Amino acid sequence: MKHFVGIDTSNYTTSCGVYVPENGTYINSRRLLSVESGNIGLRQSEALFLHTKALPEIVDNALKNCSDISAVGVSDRPRPLENSYMPCFLAGVSAASAMASALGVKLYKFSHQAGHVAAALFSANKLDLIGHKFISFHVSGGTTEALLTEYDKKEFFKATIVARSLDLKMGQAVDRVGNMLGLGFPAGKELDALSLNGQLPQNIKVSMKGADCSISGLENKASDLLKKGTSKEDIAYFTFAYLGEVIDRMTLELKSQFGDIPFVFAGGVMSNSYIRKLITEKHGAFFASTELSSDNAVGTAVMTSILHNK
């Protein structure tokens, strides 16, 4: 069977994915980059070094049982824009280029954001949306955007921003609240687990400008709750209830603008159990699986397969 390889070196995860279109199976080999306790994030030079160090083992784990590799894909930039660039992606591009050259197969390059969208479509069993317009949300530590998305031969996905955060990104807010509560980085999983035993400590009031949102107020509200002696569980619940309200309001506004159009949600923040339940029940939206919500190369491998077989 033919195997298609994808490599992604985002700012926080080293990832190699393999996709087998014949039976729809995949391999997802990845590792979070280590961040010192108390820090929120990494410098690009640190991320590039850690990716370079981790890639041999990550790739080896993914390719152990792959004997027929037809093509290789890689994320080479954050977004599908001409001037989009981050040094951390150079590690993945170097590894993928060497692999494709050694195997004598074609190399395909995509944006990291396109990989997130493709992973969401694949894991939601909605690859049939490729070729149609839909709204995709990419919600992570570096991005909080809603995109009018359609297939494009050059970029795979043509993505036009139709809503965004005007200040802090949702993933940044989660990590800042997590740091405030003494959690590790990234804080999403630990904060999600805490929230399951929490309840809403006060009413939620979010800041919106049309479909755009402002998130920075969440950090201040969480800090005030902590000073009042509110439990970590209730602060965690408040954090995701606040973000869920924002996503709900953004979705409602975009529905009023674009009508009956599919909505797809991707990115690490969208793995949160509260937000997934709220938005699925209210809007019938499609989500990436929990495993493929956060940074991964499976979406890149899926896009590689689709382009190679066109």
Between the CA of residue 78 and those of 49, 74, 295, what are the distances in Å? Answer: 18, 11, 12
pTM of the complete model: 0.95
Q: For the domain bounded by 170-287, which CATH number is listed? A: 3.30.420.40
Task: Judge if 3-124+292-308 and 170-287 fold alike in CATH terms.
Answer: yes
d(CA 208, CA 287): 23
CATH architecture for the domain at 3-124+292-308? 2-Layer Sandwich (3.30)
Tokens of 1: 């069977």
Tokens of 53: 């160090």
Residue with tokens 């990234």: 186
Q: pLDDT by residue for the chain (310 residues), tens digit each?
A: 999 999 999 989 999 999 999 999 999 999 999 988 888 888 999 999 999 999 999 999 999 989 899 999 999 999 988 889 999 999 999 999 999 999 999 999 999 999 999 999 999 999 999 999 999 999 998 899 999 999 998 889 999 999 999 999 999 999 999 999 999 999 999 999 999 999 999 999 999 999 999 999 999 999 999 999 999 999 999 999 999 999 999 999 999 999 999 999 999 999 999 999 999 999 999 999 999 999 999 999 999 999 999 8
Under 8 Å between Cβ of 199 and 237: yes
> What residue segments make up the domains of the chain, in order of their start?
3-124+292-308, 170-287
AA identity, residue 296: N
d(CA 299, CA 310): 17
